[in-house]
Structure 1
Amino acid sequence: MRILRLLAYVTVITSTLGFAGAVAFSVHYGLTGTDLALFAVMYLLTSFGVEGGLHRFFTHKSYSAGPVMTVLLGIAGSMAAQGPILFWASVHRRHHAFADRDGDPHSPRPVGHGGFARLKGIWHGHMGWLFTVDPGSWRWHRLVPELLRDRTVVRLNRLYPVWVLLGLAVPTLAGLLFDGGVRGALGGLLWGGLARMFALHHVTWSVNSFGHLVGNRPHRTRDRSHNIASLATITVGGSWHNNHHAQPALAHNRQGFWQFDLTGTIIRLLDRAGLVHDVRYPVRRVPKGVTR
């Protein structure tokens, strides 16, 4: 537990300082097209790694994949620096089991009493839980038994620090290659690495916090999950949170033609290409009296 908390402090503080450093660096040296491109590419890669990999693949098993795709999904998700695969999956399964009730690791319910109870709850649901969560108290390994039996997943999990460093090294080397010199490498590290990490952290955490406070609720689930349309793009479909809680086993959250879910679209394309299989799509309802 001490290691997990230390890891949380290091990750949060480092990415926050990195974001501030990226802004200061750009004010002094300018912001290049390469900086923006590396931020965008690394953000898309790791956001799909989190939403399509850690969330829909490892946690909910909404589709299946072979060893190569499993490794790629695990690395992409781990590069986001939101915790090792087993930790991420066990916490999220715990969240679904006790959503917005006692036992939910990151419910934004009011904490305590008084005028600041709601603010304390939002802080806890957003990121405060990272510094207080104790998976050992609820035997996290019981929530991910099949992942613990998968040698590939366990190896990916053990190499988590390597994947985080890889997520910083790739944009650094790309910046050096495309812009050249120390300025290009540092711009890649700051924007494609640390600032990207900071942005994705808070986008993901916003689903945990604001996704249980504001938005619309087309499905009357037992929890307080909401859909937040305005965040659909930057969460790559994760902010259709009420849709997800209503049908968590599905590979996509889109339930209307206008609901943008990039993660679901990518999974569908991977399915058509034969790179993933057993994808769980919604069952189309047949009107009464109509036969197929």
Structure 2
Amino acid sequence: MTAGPETVEESPIPADAPLPSATLGGDSKRSLEQITLLLFITVPFVALLAAVPLAWGWGVSWLDLGLMTAMYFIGCHGITIGFHRYFTHGAFKARRPLRIALAVMGSLAVEGPLVRWVADHRKHHKFSDAAGDPHSPWRFGETVPALMKGLWWAHIGWMFDEEQTPQHKYAPDLIKDPAIRTVSRQFVLWTAVSLLFPPLVGGLATWSWQGALSAFFWGSLVRVALLHHVTWSINSICHAVGKRPFKSRDRSGNVWWLAVLSCGESWHNLHHADPTCARHGVLKGQLDSSARLIRWFEKVGWAYDVRWPQASRLDARREGGAVPGVPPGV
């Protein structure tokens, strides 16, 4: 899930000092960053693998499931509504408190600093499935072995690439905002909050270290691993398979079975056909919880100038004709 050419401008480098994450100097700092990234990927993934036998043998409490679900969808909507549809694409405008809240919620997903996330995804849209795309599964060719290698690259491998997206080029608007720049720089702090909140609640609720440890396993590690792989699947799976009812210049597809867990992001074909649209699931039966929440934000006045789907605009992008029954809003 990523930003589009309609939102990327070739802006001159501003006078602001570069973000630390964009200017890590020296091989030692780069190596430390990659080791840290590897730990954040592997440790939750091991927990995810261990979750099934542990749940089968020992069970899982309703408290653990509640914490895992709540933290999952807070972080997921922070990414889909905040990092993606709002900060990356400008699908709507937000009042200042909502703007900062979305920045913090997205940071709780532990997917990297806000400014870096947006820069990478805007670059993805500029070169989607072509030379320059940071994470296209078609990077190595169209044969089966090449696609298998490309899927791994699009899913995880690209994050270890030595080439860094220039943040001053792709996200100058966010760098100029002191509050957003601060949230982005505080990524380690929000990561700590994200990982420590579930065991704190679990420990206090059960008044035991066992309750805290169980909540950390399910509400922190398993939750982060699941959210990571769902998010990365939008980069990999949704650019390799799925239906393509709308015209786009890449291979983005709709993958229905990821819709609920991705909070509507897996209706990826429409997104690449109309990147600034606030709703991705525009056809009948396409669940999009992110669009629903944006609609609620609009109703209470927290969001405005929302770019809802327009039938005429979608008709022009439809493969083979008009789009029947597309609602003007949500």
- TM-score normalised to the size of structure 1? 0.91
**Structure 2 partner of 1:182:** 209
In the TM superposition, 1:34-53 aligns within 5 A as 34-53=63-82
Q: Find the aligned partners of 1:146 and 1:50 in 2 and give their Cα distance.
A: 18
Name stretches of at least 5 consecutive residues in structure 2 with no aligned partner. 1-23, 25-29, 316-330
Aligned 8 A contact 1:5 1:132 in 2: no
Q: Find the aligned partners of 1:180 and 1:4 in 2 and give their Cα distance.
A: 36
For residue 31 of structure 1, the aligned residue among 48, 52, 60 is 60
Aligned 8 A contact 1:110 1:119 in 2: no
**Structure 2 partner of 1:96:** 125
For residue 174 of structure 2, the aligned residue among 130, 133, 147 is 147
**Structure 2 partner of 1:200:** 227
Point out the more displaced range, 27-36 or 77-86: 27-36
In the TM superposition, 1:214-229 aligns within 5 A as 214-229=241-256
Aligned 8 A contact 1:67 1:152 in 2: no
Is 2:136 the counterpart of 1:107? yes
Q: Find the aligned partners of 2:258 and 2:168 in 1 and give their Cα distance.
A: 32
Q: Find the aligned partners of 1:133 and 1:200 in 2 and give their Cα distance.
A: 24
What SS does the corresponding residue of 1:274 show, helix, strand or coil? coil
Is 2:109 the counterpart of 1:87? no
Residue identity (%): 36
- TM-score normalised to the size of structure 2? 0.81
Name stretches of at least 5 consecutive residues in structure 1 with no aligned partner. 288-292
Q: Find the aligned partners of 1:235 and 1:65 in 2 and give their Cα distance.
A: 22
**Structure 1 partner of 2:156:** 127
Q: Find the aligned partners of 1:12 and 1:162 in 2 and give their Cα distance.
A: 18
Q: Deviations over 1:190-230 (max 9, x none)?
A: 11111000000000111100101111001121100001111
Aligned residues: 285
Aligned 8 A contact 2:230 2:262 in 1: yes
What SS does the corresponding residue of 2:68 show, helix, strand or coil? helix
What SS does the corresponding residue of 2:132 show, helix, strand or coil? coil
In the TM superposition, 1:262-281 aligns within 5 A as 262-281=289-308
CA RMSD across the alignment:
2.1
Aligned 8 A contact 1:207 1:239 in 2: yes
Q: CA deviation at 1:179?
A: 2.9
Q: CA deviation at 1:112?
A: 6.3
